[in-house]
Each structure stands twice: as structure tokens, then as C-alpha cells.
């Protein structure tokens, strides 16, 4: 009894032997030494199924059995996808070396011949179980650590996303927006990304990066940002600087989310024909994320109330987007936009501004 710890006593052992007398003897010896989770079978064809059902920590296996011998059982165990199979202790009357070697080559961990010494058998059982339980413990610890890493990574990502959303809303509040604008345009951007075949991961990045497109407006004075009339030349130059300001705010973060947010902030006012700002990029020089966000942002801006204008109708906004295809907007994206217009309108309706803010 002293040889078995509490942990070992809880171990699950499977006996596979076609001789009932042998099975009864081994069961009795194990019980006398504190092993109470013992399962046995005299039908070797049941061995693997019983192992899987019990999730055995140790198999005591005879070699000479009808229908399926011990080597056959070892072969079946080796075909399982389980990455932590139980140790197998061969318990047989076969003394010859080639029997021992064959069993060990097929994965058996130990080999005891009959008649056996009781103390030696229990010691070997305990030794094999200690190793197996240690492996199980390490496997469980690794799984716990992996889960903790996943949870921590999820927490970091959620914190980053919350920061992103708050940054986006901070800019919109300065522009007399309620925050619904960034919800609408980001969902439209993600919808367009999905429609052109971007992966779900890329679409999720678009959804969470595009709200920061106007973060640079934080650096624009109120008398310019909120001016109800047309901006003069100096004011317009200052207003246009928000793209570079936003890019500077979001720079020097290597995460994919922030890299995309940086690209969007910098390029969402570039135009397909090269006449946009701040760098006069054209066509594919403009990152796809910037081209998508530009289209989603302009459509929502046109159909929303701003300090300097009333909301346009969807029809009027769509007509302008058609006119600007190949000029302001990527013509391929315009085609996708038009094909998905019903879904886009539904997004606008679902996240419309509260009536008291109209």
C-alpha cells in the first residue's frame, strides 16, 4: 500500500487477458494495493474500445490470445489519433527474447513474464503510472497555459478595439456627430470587403479600423471643423491636414489593425484619378482599405446632416457616386457598391440618427 500515492490510486487500469483465472488474480493484487479503478476483459477485440471508454492510464496486456493477440492490440492502439496513449505492460508466459523485442518495438513500455513476483509487478505498475500521470499533468498544464494565453490575447484585442472605437467616436463628436456615422460607414466598408472576396479576418479588420479614418480631426480647430459655410483657402489647407495628422497619431504600431487604420486615415481622401490628398495617389497606389473606406465614408456623409449641408437622398448620393466612378472612386468598387445597395440602405436605416439629433 505504501508504494501507491493518492494520485496513483485514482489511476484507471485496463486488464486484457483471455484467462479468467489470470484476470481475477491481477484484479485482486491491484485491489490489495489500493487500485480500485480497474476494468478487465477476456475478449481482446474489445480492448481498444474499452480503453477509449475508460480513458485508461495503463494497460496490462497478455500476448497469446485468440482472435486478436497482444501484438494486434498494440497495432490498433498505434492507429489511434490520441497524442497521449497509455503505457502498456506486457504480462505473458513468453520468455523468449524475440517476443519481448517485438512487443517493445510495437510500443509496449515494459515486459513481465509469468509466473511473476507480486512486489515486482506492483512496482512496475506504479513506475509506469507515475510517468503517465506526470505526462497527463504536464499536458493539462500546457492546455491551461494555452487557454490563459488565448484569454489574455482576447482581452488585449478587446482592449485595443475599445480604444479604437473610442478614438473614432472622439473625432466624430468634435464634428457634431453622434457616433452613428462611424457605425454605418464601417459596416458598409466591411460589407464591401466581403462582397469583393476579402477573408472574414480582413473584413473584421476593416470593420474595426475604418472608424478611425477621421481621427486626425482632433487636430483641427473648431472654427474650421464646425464652420457652416464654405472654407477659405487657408482653412481648407488646414482641414486637409487631418489625414496626415490621423496617420501620425496611428503610426508606429505594428499590429495589423493599427497598420490598416493608419493606411485608412492617410488615404481615405485620395482619389482614383490622382487628384485627392494628401499625396495625390491614384488607382492601385491607394491601399484597398483606403479605397473602400472612401466610398463608404462619402456615401454616408452625403446622406447625413452636417453643419454645412442637409442630408441628400439615397438616389441623389448614388447618382453622384456613379458620376465619380473612375474619378473619385475605384470603378470596380462602385460596381460592387451598386450591386449591394439594398443591403447598404438597410444598414443606414438600422443605424439612423436619433430623431432629436436630426
Question: Contact at 8 Å (CB) between 107 and 128?
Answer: no
- How many Cβ atoms are within 10 Å of 300's Cβ, its own excluded? 24
Residues belonging to the chain: 358
d(CA 101, CA 80): 22
- H or E stretch including 56? none
d(CA 4, CA 308): 83
d(CA 357, CA 315): 23
Helix (H/G/I), strand (E/B), else coil: 90: strand
Helix (H/G/I), strand (E/B), else coil: 349: helix
CA distances from 168 to 162, 247, 348 (A): 10, 13, 18
Helix and strand numbers (H, E) in the chain are 16, 5
Helix (H/G/I), strand (E/B), else coil: 187: helix
| Residue from 3, 217, 240, 339 carrying the catalytic annotation | 217
- 164: number of CA atoms within 13 Å, CB side? 29
Residue 259 bridge partners (DSSP): none
Residue 110 bridge partners (DSSP): 89
How are strands ordered across the β-sheet holding 88-92? 37-41, 12-16, 58-61, 88-92, 110-113
Look up 275 and say whether it is catalytic.
Answer: no
Helix (H/G/I), strand (E/B), else coil: 17: coil
Active-site residue list:
217
Amino acid at each position: 500500500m505504501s508504494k501507491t500515492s493518492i494520485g496513483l490510486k485514482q489511476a484507471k487500469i485496463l486488464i486484457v487477458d483471455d484467462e479468467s483465472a489470470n484476470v481475477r488474480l491481477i484484479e485482486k493484487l491491484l485491489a490489495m494495493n489500493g487500485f480500485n479503478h480497474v476494468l478487465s476483459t477476456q475478449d481482446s477485440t474489445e480492448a481498444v474500445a474499452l480503453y477509449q471508454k475508460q480513458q485508461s492510464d495503463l494497460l496490462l496486456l497478455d500476448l497469446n490470445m485468440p482472435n486478436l493477440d497482444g501484438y494486434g492490440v498494440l497495432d490498433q492502439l498505434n492507429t489511434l489519433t490520441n497524442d497521449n496513449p497509455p503505457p502498456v505492460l506486457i504480462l505473458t508466459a513468453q520468455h523468449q527474447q524475440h517476443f519481448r523485442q517485438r512487443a517493445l518495438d510495437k510500443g509496449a513500455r515494459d515486459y513481465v513474464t509469468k509466473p511473476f513476483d507480486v512486489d515486482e509487478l506492483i512496482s512496475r505498475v506504479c513506475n509506469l503510472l507515475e510517468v503517465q500521470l506526470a505526462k497527463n499533468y504536464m499536458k493539462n498544464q500546457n492546455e491551461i497555459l494555452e487557454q490563459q494565453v488565448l484569454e489574455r490575447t482576447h482581452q488585449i484585442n478587446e482592449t485595443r478595439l475599445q480604444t479604437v472605437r473610442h478614438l473614432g467616436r472622439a473625432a466624430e463628436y468634435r464634428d457634431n456627430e453622434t457616433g452613428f456615422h462611424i457605425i454605418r460607414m464601417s459596416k458598409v466598408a466591411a460589407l464591401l470587403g466581403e462582397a469583393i472576396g476579402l477573408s472574414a479576418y480582413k473584413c473584421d479588420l476593416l470593420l474595426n479600423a475604418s472608424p478611425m479614418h477621421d481621427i486626425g480631426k482632433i487636430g483641427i480647430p473648431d472654427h474650421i471643423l464646425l464652420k457652416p459655410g464654405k472654407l477659405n483657402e487657408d482653412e481648407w489647407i488646414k482641414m486637409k491636414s487631418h489625414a496626415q495628422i490621423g496617420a501620425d497619431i496611428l503610426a508606429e504600431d505594428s499590429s495589423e489593425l493599427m497598420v490598416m487604420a493608419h493606411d485608412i486615415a492617410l488615404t481615405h481622401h485620395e482619389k482614383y484619378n490622382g487628384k485627392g490628398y494628401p499625396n495625390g495617389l491614384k488607382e492601385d497606389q491607394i491601399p484597398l482599405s483606403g479605397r473602400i473606406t472612401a466610398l463608404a465614408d462619402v456615401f454616408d456623409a452625403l446622406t447625413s446632416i452636417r453643419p454645412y449641408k442637409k442630408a441628400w437622398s439615397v438616389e441623389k448620393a448614388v447618382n453622384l457616386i456613379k458620376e465619380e466612378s473612375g474619378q473619385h472612386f475605384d470603378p470596380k468598387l462602385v460596381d460592387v457598391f451598386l450591386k449591394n445597395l439594398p443591403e447598404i440602405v438597410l444598414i443606414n436605416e438600422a443605424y439612423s440618427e436619433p430623431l432629436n439629433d436630426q
